[in-house]
Amino acid sequence: VTVKKDEAQEMNPPKFDKTEDMANLTFLNEASVLANLKDRYKDMMIYTYSGLFCVVINPYKRLPIYTESVIKFYMGKRRNEMPPHLFATSDEAYRNMVQDRENQSMLITGESGAGKTENTKKVIAYFAIVGATQQAAEKRGEGVKGVSEPKKASGKGGTLEEQIVQTNPVLEAFGNAKTVRNNNSSRFEALKLTHDLKYYHFCSQAELTIDGVDDKEEMALTQEAFDVMGFEDEEVLDLYKSCAAIMHMGEMKFKQRPREEQAEPDGDEDAQNVAHCLGVSAEELLKSLTKPRVRVGTEWVNKGQNLEQ
């Protein structure tokens, strides 16, 4: 391959191959950074330092590098003592917070599908385990007054640390969705309608199945998270009923009455399901949708709705 000199970039000596910190490269340019990340990724070394930053490449598969034993392996270690890892960066922030008594911040950024959500979950899990371990160690070794074992929530809930970690399955179950580039993309955004409602029919065309995702398994994990967080069975059931009501409501159909500016239900099966889930009368539900009550001056009147409304 022949290229022009001004299009080529300097190459680093072999001793810098697969270097753990790219800030040490003799020639720090786009080509050398890409080559180093590529070589490390081939060996499944997805974490690489770049000065104060930790660069990660999404492997798009599960790796056994986030277990509790790995977490304890990184606890209390200096960054240069261990291979690059998100846990090393997390531990450094934790130690600075504890020792220097200063607030710390971690910015996890990247494009869609880069792994921001997953890495955030790993950071939370790390802090939960390290915090609990530190607390127990202080009690055993120093006898610090007021320090107890990890708090156990009342009822069937888990420890505080477990509850913090288990917030993720619940949030993801209701706030994440599949996108073109990410099967589990966070949708927690400040959204607003920018067009007429009739243009949002495409929202009903979301994918219901995702390759490699077991809905039964995900449901079990969500239920387990509810249990750990201390939700009562009745509360969880009410939440499921609300979700079912929303789904059935999306199936409700209406039609226009002939020669009238009034819509009416096109069948009531879905309305019956919605009413059952919400514990209300199906008749009153349909009436509130087709003839809602509005206030006119000091009086309340029923306003007819056409099909478009």
Domains of the chain: 5-230 (3.40.850.10), 232-309 (1.20.120.720)
pLDDT in tens, 59-112: 988 899 999 899 989 998 998 899 999 999 999 999 999 999 999 999 999 988
The annotation status of 110 as a binding-site residue, yes or no, is: yes
3-state SS of 208-266? CCCCCCCHHHHHHHHHHHHHHCCCCHHHHHHHHHHHHHHHHHCCCCEEECCCCCCEEEC
- The answer to whether the CB of 56 falls within 8 A of the CB of 115 is yes
Give CA–CA dist 248/246, Å, rounded.
6
| Residue 107: other Cβ atoms inside 10 A | 5
Alpha carbon 285 to chain centroid, angstroms: 34
H/E run at residue 42: helix 30-42
Q: What is the pTM of this model?
A: 0.69
Q: What percent of the chain has pLDDT over 90?
A: 46
| Residue 262: other Cβ atoms inside 10 A | 13
Give CA–CA dist 233/152, Å, rounded.
19
The annotation status of 141 as a binding-site residue, yes or no, is: no
Q: What percent of the chain has pLDDT over 70?
A: 86
- The answer to whether the CB of 102 falls within 8 A of the CB of 69 is no
Task: Give the tokens for residue 30.
Answer: 């786009």
The annotation status of 30 as a binding-site residue, yes or no, is: no
Amino acid present at 42: K
pLDDT in tens, 19-71: 999 999 999 899 999 999 999 999 999 999 999 999 999 998 889 999 989 99
The annotation status of 114 as a binding-site residue, yes or no, is: yes
The annotation status of 242 as a binding-site residue, yes or no, is: no
Please name which of 16, 37, 41 lies closest in space to residue 27, comparing C-alpha atoms.
16
Q: Is the pLDDT of residue 153 over 70?
A: no
pLDDT in tens, 230-259: 999 999 999 999 999 999 998 899 998 887
The annotation status of 190 as a binding-site residue, yes or no, is: no
SS3 state of residue 11: coil
SS3 state of residue 296: strand
- The answer to whether the CB of 236 falls within 8 A of the CB of 226 is yes
pLDDT in tens, 275-300: 999 999 999 999 999 988 888 888 88
The annotation status of 177 as a binding-site residue, yes or no, is: no
pLDDT classification of 309: cutoffs 50, 70, 90: confident
The annotation status of 111 as a binding-site residue, yes or no, is: yes
Q: Where does the chain show beta strands of DSSP type E?
A: 47-50, 53-56, 176-177, 185-186, 254-256, 263-265, 293-296, 299-302
